[in-house]
Amino acid sequence: MMHYKIVLTGSGIMVDHYGSPEPVMGFVTCRLLKADSEKLAVATVKRDILVQWNQSFNADRKAGLPKLSVEQIKPVNPLLSRKPKHDFYFYVSEEQREEHLQELTQPKRRWFKKK
């Protein structure tokens, strides 16, 4: 079994943005999990995200079902990978979406120098 880091985007939702004129366009999320294959990892993550979405944000069934797209999937070492700080990073513009994606997909700067 391999450990995978999967970054997905969800679009096509209607979430109240607390009275702001800019509607929430979607979200970016990242998950770490162990699976036998990439295909199984993606299917498991999509199922888990949709279940969490319906329980947390779509309990009244007004927010809609997000269209999930895989942005990145890669094998990782579980001991060297940090879990994301948040479950969902909501965005109201394409620029904000790109910022969230860059934060989740770009490698972090190491605190030590590699020789």
Computed from CA positions of residues 103, 66, 34, 89, in that sequence, does the dihedral angle turn out positive or negative? positive
Task: Name the pTM for this structure.
Answer: 0.85
* Calpha distance 87→5 (Å, rounded): 14
Burial grade of 106 (CB within 10 A; 0-12, 13-18, 19 or more): exposed
Burial of residue 47, with CB atoms counted within 10 A of its CB: 0-12 exposed, 13-18 middle, 19 or more buried: exposed
Q: For 34-88, write each residue's pLDDT tens digit.
A: 999 999 999 999 999 999 999 988 888 888 899 999 999 999 988 877 777 778 9
* Integer Cα distance of 44 and 78 in angstroms: 18
